[in-house]
Amino acid sequence: MDDHTLDANAGDIRRIEVITGTGRRRRWSAETKAQIIAESFTGEASVSEVARRHGLRPQQLFGWRHQIRNGGLAVDGGSPPAFVPMITDGATAPASRSAMVGSAIEIEVAGMIVRVRGRVMAEALGEVLAAVKRAR
Domain range annotation of the chain: 30-69, 98-135
Rounded-to-integer distance, Cα 96 and Cα 33, Å = 46
What is the model's pLDDT at position 23?
A: 66
Number of H helices, E strands in the chain: 4, 2
Q: Specify the pTM.
A: 0.41
What pLDDT sits at residue 13?
67
The tens place of each residue's pLDDT in the chain, 136 residues long, gives 555 556 656 666 677 788 776 667 788 887 888 889 888 888 888 999 999 999 899 999 999 888 887 777 765 555 555 666 666 666 555 555 555 555 677 887 767 788 888 777 888 888 887 887 777 6
What pLDDT does residue 60 have? 92
> Which pLDDT belongs to residue 5?
54
pLDDT of residue 48: 92
**Torsion angle (degrees, nearest 10) of CA 125, 130, 132, 135:** -160
pLDDT computed for residue 11 by the predictor? 63
Separation between Cα atoms, residue 7 and residue 20, nearest integer Å: 27
Q: What is the CA radius of gyration of the chain?
A: 27
Please say whether the beta carbons of 130 and 136 come within 8 A: no
Single out the residue of 66, 78, 72, 73 nearest to residue 40, CA to CA. Answer: 66
pLDDT of residue 2: 55
